[in-house]
Structure 1
Amino acid sequence: MTDLKKLTDQISARAKEIRTDGYSMSIGEVLSLYRDGDIEIHPEFQRIFRWNDDQKSRLIESILLGIPVPPIFVSQRRDGVWDVIDGVQRISTILEFTGEYRDEEQIVHPPLILRKGEYLTELEGYTYSTPQGAADAKQFDDALRRDFKRSKLEFSIITKESDQNAKYDLFQRLNSGSVLSPQEARNCLLVMINRELFHTTTELSSNTNFLNCIPLTERQEEQSYGNELVLRFFCQEEFTGGVTELQKEYGEYLTDWMKTTAERGEKLNQRLFNETFELLDNTLGEDVFRRFDGNKHLGPFSISAFEFVTTGVARNLATWKERGTDQLKERIQSIWTASAFRSNSGTGVSPRRRVPRIVAASREYFGV
């Protein structure tokens, strides 16, 4: 078989795994789907996809002017409901403008009041219809509302016959060049696969003891770095791969582990997480993952220290709860001169090499 034949066969085989369809749909039809629960926009995504009112107004302006809007990608679930995997903010903006958007608690948001457009400068202050208690607000008349509802949006649909991983892979590809951080993309995948697990990781990332040990910057909070550290904790706790270098980059490995865990419906050991960080907070607080020079802790949060300390302590939690915080403090501070840690961390060691070695070394180091 020639190389070209192998390639064409592979293209043919993989193409069969993703079946797509596409057509135009009026905004009015989209609103009906939303009211009937036939399209899922995942309101949790609104924490991640952040458009301001100027961006929202530009979308409405484009629709009014007939300027093409990028297609909406949806995946058809087994029950026939459409999962929006690209275009959440576009659909959400339209729903908010028409006064239909509901948040995670199913509370209807106040209608969007438009800002001045680039071309339609007279849009300033207009709403789709008069908000309750705002009788003097400028609003579209019946003709404008009809024109808006008749405007078309293009949809690309991954049919339910497709491979189940197709929508997750497509989501990652479509959003790989966006402003999403890797963890924000994982959060979106998690919401689509297992909403309960998403809420669990988010709740754990707000644990007081955890936050005391992880002084996150404002940017890290915005990019859901706390959620990533929660996932890292459990991924490393379950790791059984030995010291061999990972076959893929650690970020991909973490995403794959998360997807597998979510698809299986497995529960996270919240008690282990809470008790581990309660102990670490009581031991060193915000210094627990900062370098120790023999006299004091200094410098920023160290991801290598996080991996080493949390993995080792969690695996040997009963031992260290019995020994107490004084002994644990000495053991944590000693890692900075220990070859078990120093030889497996630092800027010259890639995460795909570092993590397996750190997991194995830390379990032994804190198990003595």
Structure 2
Amino acid sequence: MKNSTNDITYEQLTSQETELQEEEEEEEEEEESSDFFDPTKIRITTKQITMDLLIKRIEYKEINLNPDFQRNANIWTDKAKSRLIESLLIRIPLPAFYMDATEEDEWLIIDGLQRLSTFKSFILDEKLVLKDLEFLKELEKNKYSDLSRNYKRRINEAEFIVYLIEPGTPPKVKYNIFRRINTGGLPLNLQEFRQAINPGKAIKILKELANIPEFQKLTSFSQKRKNRMVDHEFILGFIAFTLISYNSYSSDKGRDDFLDQAMKRLNKIDENRVQEIKNKFIFAMKAANNIFGEDAFRKIRKITEDGKRKYPINKALFESWSVTLSDLSEQELETLIERKENVKEVFIKKMEDDSNFLESVSQAATKVPYRFDTIKEIIKEVLSC
């Protein structure tokens, strides 16, 4: 029997999802962190640093221009880079840099990656040739080595404000600092924050799994979304619920904290367990492909007169289906593949008749145990036919 009309309906929760598909399947709204922010634990120092010193640190790899939480270094056009250099030449002050100085020998760039990459390209690598300048037209087609001593001095003696997050700053406080930094471009999203404060083998594992053909085929994320680590967050969701039972999920702490804990655990587990997780992930991706094909990890509804609507890939469904499928035996999977049309029919019926289930898969952070239990019920029902 269907839920009452006072309950949330299939149409109410899915009426706007066509727009999501048309706008490159935008991510769900991220949770606000409810962690207590203790201002007494903030350790940030401010320094005035010359270009000479910055370049020396870059040259000796004492500033990391390839942080694991950003894939988008050197995305500026040559025109934008040239205009930045021109700003230095005409002595226009530039925005401050933010860096994590936890490791004295390797500062991690948090905000200002494009600017530092431009400085490296122009001064150290001499790959940038100035073009499309606004004021100093006579310097177009010049490399750094072509500049007069006067202009080189202006660049090398330029001073910048650098905010350094010092050693001893607790990770949670650092996390909150990262969230508040947005001096230009796109602010770091939650997965980028997560990878920034949890460096180590976990990031390597996420990268490796993101390159698995079956995963790429089923998700088809755009390069733009990959650049923002969206694929990594989906994979981390699978790993989180593989390492930590969904029954241990705390709605009070939220999904954000749950994924943070998974990153920390992933950095500590042994190689045998890592390989087991990889095998389960690959098994789940192949299983989803064989059962659902292009409908894997998406909401599905019956074909109507308007035709079939393809919904965006869904975090909640990705986690619940992939983790549950990964626990199947080979025989159980073979049976589900043989009865894949039954799987889809039961799934669609649950989506249409059970408003609690629909709500649980419409937001990744809500009613987590309910959606996992429902997916298990679907599989159990089909296997018992």
- The correspondence for 2:61, drawn from 33, 37, 47, is 37
Q: Secondary structure at the match of 2:357?
A: coil
Q: State the TM-score, normalizing by the size of structure 1.
A: 0.77
What is the distance in 2 between the residues matched to 1:176 and 1:366?
Answer: 48
What is the distance in 2 between the residues matched to 1:320 and 1:348?
Answer: 24
What pairs with 1:12-161 in structure 2 (closer than 5 Å)? Answer: 14-42=38-66, 44=68, 47-49=71-73, 50-78=75-103, 80-100=105-125, 111-129=127-145, 139-161=146-168
Question: Are the equivalent residues in 2 in contact too, given 1:307–1:358 (CA < 8 A)?
Answer: no
- The answer on 1:293 being equivalent to 2:302 is yes
Question: Are the equivalent residues in 2 in contact too, given 1:17–1:163 (CA < 8 A)?
Answer: yes
Report the alpha carbon displacement of residue 237 of structure 1 after superposing the two structures with TM. 3.2
Give the aligned residue type for 1:274: I
Give the aligned residue type for 1:277: M
Counterpart position of 1:260:
264
What is the distance in 2 between the residues matched to 1:212 and 1:30?
Answer: 42
Pick closer, same or farther for the CA change 1:253–1:365 going to 2, 3 Å: farther
Question: Are the equivalent residues in 1 in contact too, given 2:219–2:313 (CA < 8 A)?
Answer: no
Q: Deviations over 1:194-229 (max 9, x none)?
A: 243223212322211112222334554454432222
Report the alpha carbon displacement of residue 28 of structure 1 after superposing the two structures with TM. 0.9
Question: Are the equivalent residues in 2 in contact too, given 1:212–1:285 (CA < 8 A)?
Answer: no
Q: State the TM-score, normalizing by the size of structure 2.
A: 0.74
What is the distance in 1 between the residues matched to 2:135 and 2:253?
Answer: 48
Counterpart position of 1:136:
none
Pick closer, same or farther for the CA change 1:237–1:349 going to 2, 3 Å: same
Q: Secondary structure at the match of 1:293?
A: coil
Q: Which moved more, 1:293-302 or 1:80-89?
A: 293-302
Unaligned runs of 5+ in 1: 1-10, 101-109, 130-138
Q: Secondary structure at the match of 2:46?
A: strand
- The answer on 1:358 being equivalent to 2:371 is yes
Question: Are the equivalent residues in 2 in contact too, given 1:115–1:124 (CA < 8 A)?
Answer: yes
Pick closer, same or farther for the CA change 1:245–1:332 going to 2, 3 Å: farther
Question: Are the equivalent residues in 2 in contact too, given 1:242–1:357 (CA < 8 A)?
Answer: no
Counterpart position of 1:209:
214
Report the alpha carbon displacement of residue 262 of structure 1 after superposing the two structures with TM. 5.5
The percentage of aligned residue pairs carrying the same residue is 20
Report the alpha carbon displacement of residue 272 of structure 1 after superposing the two structures with TM. 0.8
Pick closer, same or farther for the CA change 1:197–1:20 going to 2, 3 Å: same
- The correspondence for 2:241, drawn from 236, 241, 252, is 236
Give the aligned residue type for 1:117: L
- The correspondence for 1:336, drawn from 332, 335, 348, is 348
Report the alpha carbon displacement of residue 246 of structure 1 after superposing the two structures with TM. 1.6
Pick closer, same or farther for the CA change 1:91–1:261 going to 2, 3 Å: farther
What is the distance in 2 between the residues matched to 1:265 and 1:64?
Answer: 51
What is the distance in 1 between the residues matched to 2:293 and 2:123?
Answer: 48
Q: Which moved more, 1:153-162 or 1:252-261?
A: 252-261
Counterpart position of 1:8:
none
What is the distance in 2 between the residues matched to 1:305 and 1:348?
Answer: 6
What is the distance in 2 between the residues matched to 1:176 and 1:287?
Answer: 39
Q: Deviations over 1:226-285 (max 9, x none)?
A: 2222122222334435398722554x3465345434564677511111111122223332
Report the alpha carbon displacement of residue 356 of structure 1 after superposing the two structures with TM. 3.6
RMSD: 3.4
What is the distance in 2 between the residues matched to 1:347 and 1:120?
Answer: 58
Report the alpha carbon displacement of residue 361 of structure 1 after superposing the two structures with TM. 2.6
What is the distance in 2 between the residues matched to 1:34 and 1:77?
Answer: 17
- The answer on 1:226 being equivalent to 2:231 is yes
Q: Secondary structure at the match of 1:284?
A: helix
Report the alpha carbon displacement of residue 52 of structure 1 after superposing the two structures with TM. 2.2
> How many corresponding residue pairs?
336
- The answer on 1:277 being equivalent to 2:285 is yes
Pick closer, same or farther for the CA change 1:72–1:149 going to 2, 3 Å: same
Q: Deviations over 1:272-318 (max 9, x none)?
A: 11111122223332133341427996422341543442232123354
Q: Secondary structure at the match of 1:74?
A: strand
What is the distance in 1 between the residues matched to 2:193 and 2:84?
Answer: 22
Higher relative contact order (CA 8 A, sep 6+): 2
Report the alpha carbon displacement of residue 90 of structure 1 after superposing the two structures with TM. 1.6
